[in-house]
A and B are shown apart, each in its own frame.
Chain A
């Protein structure tokens, strides 16, 4: 059964703590993405990775870090530097077809809801 899994579904963090959100995909997709969803703001891109061992900052990368050591995994760490971390975090993946722009539909995981206490 192919898809994207995220864990945990709910996460509670005390202020000052770092937490890591897991994202795994078995779709054999090259590219993976992290988004943050806040009410009334849609989704905003945090980080993305096109290939293993490479990743780039998105629009709101401050206070976050990622790694891409394996093709199927793209964990996101929310650091204590993130001023307003309470949000719903979504991971996505797509093929990366280079010049074939039309092929790159993104598919999303179920999300992790992070709450800072």
Chain B
């Protein structure tokens, strides 16, 4: 069965520290990859996405992610976090099934707390 694994459930960092959140998926077909973010009290927002081309994708607010096909990974990075990055981060994989139906499979999420 297709699945998405986020290895860190909770991450605590100080401001200016570097961030890397791991994401691995299990699906052998063509996939699109996403990172969504949910800030406290706000709705789920798209942070960045990978469809094809350059495996290093840049998103909003200084985030980037690297797709490594051989490792089935799509890790999220930011060189220097801010207090405002405190949120829950979800990795998701979009797989195409028969009938043209897209299924977005989510990881369990990583709660990031950034201390001033």
Interface magnitude class on chain B:
20 to 34
When the two chains form their complex, are residues B90 and A104 in contact, meaning their CB atoms are under 8 A apart? no
When the two chains form their complex, are residues B103 and A107 in contact, meaning their CB atoms are under 8 A apart? no
When the two chains form their complex, are residues A98 and B49 in contact, meaning their CB atoms are under 8 A apart? no
Instruction: Name, among B44, B106, B108, the residue most crowded by chain A CB atoms within 10 Å (CB to CB).
Output: B44
A40 to B107, CA, bound (A): 9
B96 within 8 A of A: yes
B52 within 8 A of A: yes
A108 to B109, CA, bound (A): 16
B92: chain A residues at CB < 8 Å are 43
When the two chains form their complex, are residues B104 and A45 in contact, meaning their CB atoms are under 8 A apart? yes
Interface magnitude class on chain A:
20 to 34
Q: A102-B52, A105-B46, A105-B49 are in contact. Are A40 and B101 (CB under 8 A)?
A: no
When the two chains form their complex, are residues B100 and A102 in contact, meaning their CB atoms are under 8 A apart? no
In the complex, what residue of chain A is closest to B34 when comparing beta carbons? Answer: A105
When the two chains form their complex, are residues A99 and B100 in contact, meaning their CB atoms are under 8 A apart? yes
A111 within 8 A of B: yes
Q: How far is the CB of A111 from chain B (nearest CB, A)?
A: 6
> In B58-116, which residues have CB < 8 Å from any A CB?
90, 92, 94, 96, 100-104, 106-109
Q: How far is the CB of B95 from chain A (nearest CB, A)?
A: 9
A41: chain B residues at CB < 8 Å are 108
A26 within 8 A of B: no
A110: chain B residues at CB < 8 Å are 42-43
* Contact pick for B103, options A45, A90, A96, A98, CB 8 Å: A45
Q: A90-B44, A102-B51, A109-B43 are in contact. Are A42 and B109 (CB under 8 A)?
A: yes
Question: What residues make up the interface of A, taking CB atoms closer than 8 Å to B?
Answer: 31, 33, 35, 40-45, 48, 50, 56, 58, 90, 92, 94, 96, 98-99, 101-102, 104-111
A sample of 25 cross-chain residue pairs with beta-carbon separation below 8 angstroms, ordered by A number, consists of: A31-B102, A33-B104, A40-B108, A40-B109, A41-B108, A42-B109, A43-B106, A50-B100, A50-B101, A56-B101, A90-B44, A92-B104, A96-B100, A99-B100, A101-B94, A101-B102, A102-B32, A102-B51, A104-B94, A105-B34, A105-B46, A106-B94, A106-B102, A106-B104, A108-B43
